[in-house]
A and B are shown apart, each in its own frame.
Chain A
């Protein structure tokens, strides 16, 4: 169980990004964290993984617990060792390392050779395409292949919880579906807990068990996926399927509702 309690994050000592955010990710589940640009979704993930530090961000209030232990204040490498692994936004593969070397780096914290070898095969089982690219520099892979590589790196660390930041970014709809199917498979087969940050609400809600909706650094809506999917506002603003044609009046009502939401 990953739990955030009233977390407040400030960048550069002045910019308040998370304003008392609370959320829970139960073990073995997929939880989606949705919201518009600038809501603080990525910041939330970085607060959990400890990567805020290198961006002059700081958790100034509240607590982050993983399996009962506080993990805010820990260094990022210690948090990875506790079993929380972040797949960063924009894939961020090591471009001048080969595919194989990238995968090796995913398993950096482990030293059990046999297990590492097994998990490398597991990665190629999930993403057969990568196997043919093993010796190639990661910088020359396509966007989809890079995303597969980024997820493989996460698998190699054998984390109990993966934080996935926008895996659909810049990918074709078909690839997005493929990637999401594999995320679900990883959750089911490896029993890995997943906290998924997405702009693509429809895809995220299709695989998540539970969803949070964030705006302006706060959670504004939460619930089982079904409940969130059927919420009128979510339908209208995030799934884009309220049905009737837009006119000027409707746009005004959009603004009004937006304000209400935040």
Chain B
């Protein structure tokens, strides 16, 4: 039983970080219809920038703030350099560009910092906190708390703030949004910046959990794809639930099935469930079904 709880808890922690990164993916998809395949690289870049700053003797809260700032600028640059020239082109072309961008960013990161794991400093005391009988590392608790806080604030942002509503309006129709005086360019810039920021924060949290940054973080970033498809591409709740499901499944499969099957189930389990769910709910768990008036 303890083993099960331990696995489930690990799953929830990792899953909440997946959910955070998936949120970025959903925001971009919602506002512009683009699938951003460079999401994993945003995460990678954030993790390395944070490491470089800490390595350069910045105290870690400052390093986090600077990484966030860097990510905002990255998002703005994306809008200016990639999206704006692509206005009026088919969405699929923009998606292809993000695919190219992901290779480019990964190459830049590996070129600049190499392939070795770059260790993070230990921010938390190593003795665990006990949740009942269950020992939990402080880093895990902290990560989960931060992820939950961010997810909650973005959910509120989208539901109640004017800019949040404007982003949903733009997602529905750019033309109508423009006719209200909403600047579609600015909405895109905001959504790409948010996506870059949540990915970078996800990268820092994952780096912290794993003890350092390395190239495999980008692959973890790509895990957001099953997460968002599971939850429904355009749903924030979906990203949260999807993230938790994938995180927990992965860990349970890893703990129980890997020893029997000889490994590898951990990576496949979320996709198996994904296929099952899509057979029953083709729009994902929370995906928007188009409203049709008859």
Q: Which residues of A contact B (CB under 8 A)?
A: 49-51, 54-56, 75-77, 80-81, 85-86, 88, 92, 94-97, 101, 104-106, 108-109, 137, 139-140, 143, 153, 157
Partner of B180, one of A54, A75, A140, A153: A153
Complex formed: what's the CA distance from A85 to B88 in Å?
23
Is B288's beta carbon under 8 Å from chain A?
yes
Partner of A85, one of B169, B172, B179, B183: B179
Knowing A95-B291, A137-B291, say if A54 contacts B182 (CB, 8 Å): no
**Would you call A96 and B168 a contact (CB within 8 A)?**
yes
Q: Report A-chain residues with C-beta under 8 Å of the C-beta of B291.
A: 95-96, 137, 139-140
Complex formed: what's the CA distance from A77 to B186 in Å?
11
Q: Which residues of B contact A (CB under 8 A)?
A: 88, 162, 165-166, 168-169, 172-183, 288, 291, 293
Q: Smallest distance from the beta carbon of B285 to chain A beta carbons, Å? A: 17
Beyond the given pairs A85-B179, A101-B168, A101-B169, 13 more chain A to chain B contacts, judged by CB atoms under 8 angstroms and listed by A's residue number, are A54-B178, A55-B175, A92-B179, A94-B169, A94-B172, A96-B288, A97-B168, A97-B169, A101-B165, A105-B165, A105-B180, A109-B181, A157-B181
Which residue from chain B places its CB closest to the CB of A138 in the assembled complex? B291
Which residue from chain B places its CB closest to the CB of A102 in the assembled complex? B169
Q: Report B-chain residues with C-beta under 8 Å of the C-beta of A105.
A: 165-166, 169, 177, 180, 182
Q: Smallest distance from the beta carbon of B5 to chain A beta carbons, Å? A: 39
**Would you call B166 and A108 a contact (CB within 8 A)?**
yes
**Would you call B293 and A54 a contact (CB within 8 A)?**
no
Complex formed: what's the CA distance from A76 to B182 in Å?
9
**Would you call A108 and B172 a contact (CB within 8 A)?**
no
**Would you call B179 and A104 a contact (CB within 8 A)?**
no
Q: Report A-chain residues with C-beta under 8 Å of the C-beta of B182.
A: 77, 105, 108
Partner of A51, one of B88, B166, B169, B178: B178
Knowing A139-B291, A140-B293, say if A97 contacts B165 (CB, 8 Å): yes
Partner of A76, one of B88, B162, B169, B179: B179
